[in-house]
Amino acid sequence: MRPAKPENVLMFDYARRRASVGDRMRQAGIDLLFLPISGDLEYLTGIPRREPSFGNVAYRHGWVAGAFLRPGADPVVVLPRMITEFELPGGAAGD
């Protein structure tokens, strides 16, 4: 028996979005793009950004959190342990 599929679930095509950005990068002669954790990164990869709050939370080495994007390649995600432990709901796979 298969689980029921929710009818109102939107599925985003992140690969197509990244391919579109990759095409524009090629046209502009850009080899590598770094995006910090933001709405832009969430739009292209699905990695959620921080929920809005009234305080500024800063983690050690938080400046490096984000992803490197290259045309035609999967993103390389860099997330310090503090962010994976406290910001991602299910943590992150890997070391």
pLDDT digits (tens, 9 = 90+) for 31-89: 999 999 889 999 999 988 777 777 776 767 677 889 999 999 999 999 887 777 777 66
8 domain-assigned: no
pLDDT score recorded for residue 90: 65
2 pLDDT higher than 70: no
Domain that holds residue 31: 14-50+63-86
74 domain-assigned: yes
92 domain-assigned: no
Structural domains in the chain (count): 1
pLDDT score recorded for residue 82: 74
57 domain-assigned: no
Cα separation, 54 vs 94, whole angstroms: 31
Place of tokens 């035609």: 72
Picking from 6, 9, 62, 70, the residue whose alpha carbon sits closest to that of residue 44 is 70
4 domain-assigned: no
Cα separation, 2 vs 58, whole angstroms: 43
70 domain-assigned: yes
78 domain-assigned: yes
